[in-house]
Structure 1
């Protein structure tokens, strides 16, 4: 399980509005002042994610910290879907446009990039049509 601590900002009858602080990859490194990632993390240091999660049974209060749980298999499956489908579409469209349709190289590159971008959009639409949202897959657990 992937765990993240969140704070309740609002309580609704069937959901909780929670906020999490987005963490950067570096914060304790000695090179933080000269590293590009460290400089970017300082520029965007006050980043928060706010969203609704399904409310489990129990008493909750605004300001209370809860733990959000996400199964690792779910994250892996959707990551593969979101990243692998467009890459496969890019490769297959490049092969199809150059080999089967014999397009010139420049047009094949542009056509492949267009199908690559369209595949991201189609995967996103497919996920929305299936009502697959990460917030529906999260479990909320009170921190004791």
Structure 2
């Protein structure tokens, strides 16, 4: 997966880059009439800024191409979307089989597990930032 970014800071071999976050709506013909397309325009000026370690010689203001292996993107997307849903289902099934737990409590606990899984993944991804950043390759454009 490739993305264009701009170098905003250089500290030795640690480079800070920023990239414009895009939505799928930018490529759709119905963007001006669709509700999601209209909302995407409201939040269109979002930028992602992050640090990447590289041996490439870059200066502030350079446009660079970020390259992330597709296998890593797929793996992280499956974890981010799949694990919370899996947690929700497992908790719901486990609590539903118990006669002592009311249906409302089962629903609340299932959604709580769903949310806690997101928070756990967020913390886990932050600890893994160094390894994730090693997957990103910078190439000057």
Shorter-chain TM-score bucket reads 0.7 to 0.9
d(CA) in 2 for partners of 1:105 and 1:43?
39
Give ranges in structure 1 of 5+ residues lacking alignment. Answer: none
d(CA) in 2 for partners of 1:63 and 1:130?
28
Q: Look up the match of 2:97.
A: 99
Structure 1 window deviating more from structure 2 (84-93 vs 132-141): it is 132-141
d(CA) in 1 for partners of 2:26 and 2:121?
34
Bigger-Rg structure (1/2): 1
Matched, 1:5 2:9: no
Q: Secondary structure at the match of 1:92?
A: helix
d(CA) in 2 for partners of 1:4 and 1:112?
36
In the TM superposition, residue 28 of structure 1 has moved relative to its aligned partner by 6.2
d(CA) in 2 for partners of 1:61 and 1:24?
28
What value does the CA root-mean-square deviation take over the aligned residues?
A: 2.1
Q: Indicate conservation of the 8 Å contact 1:127/1:133, yes or no.
A: no
4+ runs deviating over 6 angstroms: none
Provide Cα deviations, 1:105-136, integer angstroms capped at 9, x if missing partner.
Answer: 11111111112211222222333344566433
More helix by share: 2
Q: Look up the match of 2:36.
A: 37
Give ranges in structure 2 of 5+ residues lacking alignment. Answer: none
Q: Look up the match of 1:128.
A: 126
d(CA) in 2 for partners of 1:132 and 1:85?
22
TM-score (norm 1): 0.83
Q: Look up the match of 1:119.
A: 117
